[in-house]
Structure 1
Amino acid sequence: MQASLKLLTRRKFLPLFSTQFLGAFNDNLFKTAMVMLVTYRIFSDNRLEAAFNAAANALFILPFFLFSALAGQLADCRDKAWIIRIVKTVEIGIMLVGASGLLLQSVPLLLTALFAMGVHSTFFGPIKYALLPQHLDSDEVLGGTGLIEAGTYGGVLLGIIVGGIIPAEAAAATVLAVALVGRIVGQQVPPAPPVIEDDSVDLHVVRASIRLVSETLHVPRLFLAILAISCFWMQAAILGTLFVPLVKNVLGADQEVATLFLAVFSVGVGIGSVAINRLLGGTVSARYAPAAAILMGLFLLDLHHVAEHWDAPDAMVGWKAFLELRGAKHILVDLFGVAMSGGMFVVPLYAFLTTTVDKLHTARTVAANNIVNSGAMVMGALLFAALIRVGVPVTGTLLVVVVGSLLAAAIAWRLHRAADRALSSA
Structure 2
Amino acid sequence: MQQPDHDHHAPSEPHPNQFALLGQRRFAPFFWTQFCGAANDNLFKFAFTVMVTYQLSVGWLPHAMAGLVIGALFILPFLLFSATSGQLTDKWDKTRMFRLVKNLEIAIMAIAAWGFFTANVPVLLGCVFLMGLHSTLFGPVKFAYLPQVLNDRELTGGNGMVEMGTFVAILLGNVAGGLLVAVPEVGHTQVAVVCVALALVGRLCAQFIPHAPATDPGLVINWNPFTETWRNLQLARQQPVVFRSLLGISWMWFFGAVFLAQFPSFAKEVLHGDEHVASLLLVIFSIGIGVGALLCEVFSRRQVEIGLVPLGAIGMSVFAIDLYFAAHALPPSDLMGVGTFFAQSVHWRVMWDLGMLALSAGIYSVPMYALIQMRSQPTHRARIIAANNILNALFMIASSVLAGALLAAGASIPQVFLLTGIANALVAFYVFLLVPEYLLRFVAWVITHFVYRFRVRGADHIPAHGAAVLVCNHVSFVDAILMMAASPRPIHFVMDHRIFQTPVLGWLFKLAKTIPIAPQKEDPATYEAAFARAAQVLREGDLLAIFPEGGITADGQLQPFKPGILKILEQARADGLEVSVVPMALTNLWGSYFSRIEVRGGRNVAMVQPLRRGLFNAVGLEVGDAVPAAQVTPEGLRTRVAALLAR
Place the TM-score, normalised by the shorter chain, in its bin. Answer: over 0.9
Aligned mate of 1:136, from 150, 154, 174: 150
Q: Distance in 2 between matches of 1:47 and 1:16?
A: 37
Matched, 1:182 2:202: yes
The answer for the alignment partner of 2:162 in structure 1 is 148
Three-state SS of the structure 1 residue aligned to 2:74 is helix
Q: What is the 5 A alignment of 1:171-320?
A: 171-313=191-333, 315-320=334-339
1:216-263 deviation digits (Å, cap 9, x = unpaired): 124211221011111111011111111111100111111101111000
Paired AA for residue 337 in structure 1: M
Q: 1:179/1:317 Cα in 2 relative to 1: closer, same or farther (>3 Å)?
A: same
Q: Distance in 2 between matches of 1:214 and 1:312?
A: 52
The answer for the alignment partner of 2:105 in structure 1 is 91
The answer for the alignment partner of 2:31 in structure 1 is 17
Paired AA for residue 63 in structure 2: E
Aligned sequence identity (%): 36
Three-state SS of the structure 1 residue aligned to 2:491 is helix
The answer for the alignment partner of 2:345 in structure 1 is 326
Matched, 1:386 2:405: yes
Q: Is the 8 A contact 1:150 1:273 kept in 2?
A: yes
1:246-295 deviation digits (Å, cap 9, x = unpaired): 10011111110111100010000000001011111111131121121111
Shift of 1:99: 1.6
The answer for the alignment partner of 1:35 in structure 2 is 49
Shift of 1:103: 1.9
Matched, 1:105 2:126: no
Three-state SS of the structure 2 residue aligned to 1:312 is coil
Shift of 1:43: 2.9
Q: Distance in 2 between matches of 1:268 and 1:404?
A: 21
Q: Distance in 2 between matches of 1:280 and 1:312?
A: 44
Q: 1:278/1:46 Cα in 2 relative to 1: closer, same or farther (>3 Å)?
A: farther
Q: Distance in 2 between matches of 1:250 and 1:306?
A: 11
Moved over 6 A (4+): 44-47
Shift of 1:180: 0.6
Q: Is the 8 A contact 1:73 1:201 kept in 2?
A: yes
1:364-385 deviation digits (Å, cap 9, x = unpaired): 1100111111100000011111
More strand per residue: 2
Matched, 1:168 2:188: yes
Shift of 1:68: 0.5
More helix per residue: 1
Q: 1:415/1:174 Cα in 2 relative to 1: closer, same or farther (>3 Å)?
A: farther
Give TM-score scaled by structure 1 length: 0.96
The answer for the alignment partner of 1:126 in structure 2 is 140
Q: Distance in 2 between matches of 1:3 and 1:28?
A: 29
Shift of 1:44: 7.7
Q: Is the 8 A contact 1:303 1:334 kept in 2?
A: yes
Q: Is the 8 A contact 1:289 1:412 kept in 2?
A: no
Aligned mate of 1:68, from 78, 82, 85: 82
Q: Which runs of 5+ in 1 are unaligned?
A: none
1:357-404 deviation digits (Å, cap 9, x = unpaired): 121111111001111111000000111111111111111100121023
Single out whichever of 300-309 and 8-17 deviates more from structure 2. Answer: 300-309
Matched, 1:366 2:382: no
Q: 1:155/1:14 Cα in 2 relative to 1: closer, same or farther (>3 Å)?
A: same
Q: Is the 8 A contact 1:287 1:413 kept in 2?
A: no
Q: Distance in 2 between matches of 1:21 and 1:416?
A: 33
Q: Distance in 1 between matches of 2:430 and 2:164?
A: 24
Q: Distance in 1 between matches of 2:59 and 2:96?
A: 45
The answer for the alignment partner of 2:7 in structure 1 is none
Q: Is the 8 A contact 1:229 1:346 kept in 2?
A: yes
Matched, 1:117 2:131: yes
Three-state SS of the structure 1 residue aligned to 2:26 is coil
Shift of 1:411: 4.8
Give TM-score scaled by structure 2 length: 0.64
Q: Is the 8 A contact 1:130 1:363 kept in 2?
A: yes
Paired AA for residue 280 in structure 2: L
Paired AA for residue 116 in structure 2: L
The answer for the alignment partner of 1:409 in structure 2 is 428
Shift of 1:120: 0.3
The answer for the alignment partner of 2:491 in structure 1 is 423
Three-state SS of the structure 1 residue aligned to 2:221 is coil
Q: 1:373/1:398 Cα in 2 relative to 1: closer, same or farther (>3 Å)?
A: same
The answer for the alignment partner of 2:66 in structure 1 is 52
The answer for the alignment partner of 2:583 in structure 1 is none
Shift of 1:325: 1.9
Q: 1:414/1:144 Cα in 2 relative to 1: closer, same or farther (>3 Å)?
A: farther
Q: Which runs of 5+ in 2 are unaligned?
A: 1-14, 181-186, 441-488, 493-536, 543-647
Q: Distance in 1 between matches of 2:122 and 2:54?
A: 17
Q: Distance in 2 between matches of 1:304 and 1:101?
A: 42
Three-state SS of the structure 1 residue aligned to 2:109 is helix
Three-state SS of the structure 2 residue aligned to 1:109 is helix
Q: 1:75/1:330 Cα in 2 relative to 1: closer, same or farther (>3 Å)?
A: same
Shift of 1:199: 2.7
Q: 1:134/1:3 Cα in 2 relative to 1: closer, same or farther (>3 Å)?
A: same
Shift of 1:168: 2.5
Count how many residue pairs are aligned between Structure 1 and Structure 2: 425
Q: Distance in 1 between matches of 2:414 and 2:60?
A: 22
Shift of 1:149: 0.4
